[in-house]
Structure 1
Amino acid sequence: MKARHLLTPLLAASLCWLAACTETGGLPLESAAALPASDGVYRVGPGDVLRINTYMETDLSNEFTVLPNGKLAFPLTGEVDVQGLTTEQIRALLEQRLAGGGLVRNARVAVNVVQFRPFYILGEVAKPGRYPFEANMTLQSAVAIAGGYTVRANSRQLILHRDGDSTNRRVPIEARSQFVVRPGDIITVPKRYF
Structure 2
Amino acid sequence: MMRKAALSVFGVVLAITAGCASYKPAPPAFHSVINKPYHLDSGDVVRLTVFEQAELTNAYPVDKAGYISVPLIGAVPARGRTANQLEGEIADRLRDGYLRDPDITVSVEQYRPFFIMGEVTQGGQYSYVPGMTVQKAVAIAGGYTPRAEQENVDITREIGGRVVTGRVNISDPILPGDTLYIRERWF
Shorter-chain TM-score tier:
0.7 to 0.9
Aligned to 1:53: 49
Query: 1:43-66, CA deviations, whole angstroms, 9 ceiling, x for partnerless residues?
Result: 222222211112232221111111
Q: Of the candidates 58, 61, 74, which is equivalent to residue 62 of structure 1?
A: 58
Q: Of the candidates 166, 170, 175, which is equivalent to residue 169 of structure 1?
A: 166
Q: Of the candidates 52, 66, 69, which is equivalent to residue 73 of structure 1?
A: 69
Query: 1:143-188, CA deviations, whole angstroms, 9 ceiling, x for partnerless residues?
Result: 12212222443445411012444211122xxx221x1121221111
Distance 2:56 2:152 in 1: 47
Question: Does the CA contact (< 8 Å) of 2:150 and 2:170 recur in 1?
Answer: no
Aligned to 1:160: 155
Question: Does the CA contact (< 8 Å) of 2:67 and 2:79 recur in 1?
Answer: yes
Secondary structure of the residue that 1:41 maps to in structure 2? coil
Distance 1:114 1:185 in 2: 18
Question: Does the CA contact (< 8 Å) of 2:117 and 2:182 recur in 1?
Answer: yes
Aligned to 1:182: 175
Worse overlay, 35-44 or 54-63: 35-44
Partner AA of 1:187 in structure 2: L
Question: Does the CA contact (< 8 Å) of 1:30 and 1:167 recur in 2?
Answer: no
Q: Which runs of 5 or more structure 1 residues have no equivalent in the other structure?
A: 1-12, 21-28
Secondary structure of the residue that 1:167 maps to in structure 2? strand
Question: Does the CA contact (< 8 Å) of 1:161 and 1:169 recur in 2?
Answer: yes
RMSD: 2.7
Distance 1:107 1:30 in 2: 49
Distance 1:63 1:167 in 2: 31
Aligned to 2:8: none
Give the deviation of 1:192 after TM superposition.
5.0
* TM value normalised by structure 2: 0.76
Aligned to 1:146: 141
Question: 2:102 aligned with 1:107, yes or no?
Answer: yes
Larger Rg: 2
Partner AA of 2:113 in structure 1: P
Q: Of the candidates 26, 31, 45, which is equivalent to residue 25 of structure 2?
A: 31
Give the deviation of 1:30 after TM superposition.
4.2
* TM value normalised by structure 1: 0.73
Over the matched positions of the two proteins, sequence identity in percent amounts to 35
Give the deviation of 1:72 after TM superposition.
0.8
Aligned to 1:87: 83
Secondary structure of the residue that 1:104 maps to in structure 2? coil
Aligned to 2:121: 126
Distance 2:173 2:152 in 1: 15
Query: 1:77-99, CA deviations, whole angstroms, 9 ceiling, x for partnerless residues?
Result: 22111112111111100011122
Question: Does the CA contact (< 8 Å) of 1:55 and 1:107 recur in 2?
Answer: yes
Secondary structure of the residue that 2:107 maps to in structure 1? strand
